[in-house]
Amino acid sequence: MDERPVPGGIDVTTPNVARMYDYYLGGKDNYEADRAAAAEVLKSAPQAPALARENRAFLGRVVRYLARDAGVRQFLDVGAGLPTQGNVHEVARRETEDARVVYADNDPIVLTHGRALLGTTPGTVVVPGDLRDPSALLADPDLRAVLDLDEPVALLLISVLHCLDDEEDPWAAVAGFRDALPSGSHLAISHITAADHGAAATAGARVYRRANTGMTLRDRDAITRFFEGFDLVDPGVVRLTDWRPDSRTRNDLPTWYWCGVARKP
């Protein structure tokens, strides 16, 4: 496979979580180290590409629900990863033309590609930001130029919280966003678990320890804790494929993710 040109200052010798996810989704923004690490994951978790696609489908259903049914017009996608099909702004604007979207990530290659692909899209911006520092992210002037933080915001934490270990206290980070966002804001989360096939999930997590960020497997109770201070919307914290499925949703996949959506009262 031909390699894509490497942006200056980007390390392509260490597996990168965003690029591995891009590979699972069939994207082209990945390199040999990413593909080799992904191949190791696939030995113990051959469902990984299908689960990545279902995770992306969950994001699409969430954004449609928030824009169409919950009246949300502002979206903050933290740990957004590389642009692919069905990006948040594309889904939201099919429901409401005035949707505004901020993509935030701390990965230089995500920022480089995101700005190249989305930089001229009105009402959309890509900003540097770390999940562990909500205050700094929410103070970013480019974010503030797009989002009005006095109005409800949908905070999307899709497949990102498991990149922080318990010592980094991701629950405190989520609480920091919760306390800064106004009433009527929503929180959407998907998170890796080991509910089914725990040995395979653990083997996959070991591969990610060699990547640019690790992967922490959490049970349903630990993931539900992220929603403290929010009111869960139906159907609560469930498997990816059980959150408001549509005709395209698969129901034959193991429980490798828990997910949910909630509203700040």
- pLDDT given for residue 128 in this prediction: 96
**Nearest residue to 215 (alpha-carbon basis) of 230, 229, 237, 200:** 200
Domain-wise residue ranges, the chain: 17-264
Ramachandran area for residue 123 (φ above 0: left; ψ -120 to 50: alpha; else beta):
left
Name the DSSP letter for residue 167. G
Burial 173-193 (b: 16+ CB within 10 A, else e): bbbbbbebbeeebbbbbbbbb
263 — pLDDT class (breaks 50, 70, 90): very high
48, 51, 108, 186 from 246: Cα distances, Å: 21, 16, 35, 21
Q: SS in 3 state form for 16-38?
A: CHHHHHHHHCCCCCCCHHHHHHH
- pLDDT given for residue 1 in this prediction: 46
Can you tell me the mean pLDDT for 5-9?
Answer: 60
Instruction: Tell me what percent of the residues of the chain surpass a pLDDT of 90.
Output: 56
If you classify domain 17-264 with CATH, what class do you get? alpha beta
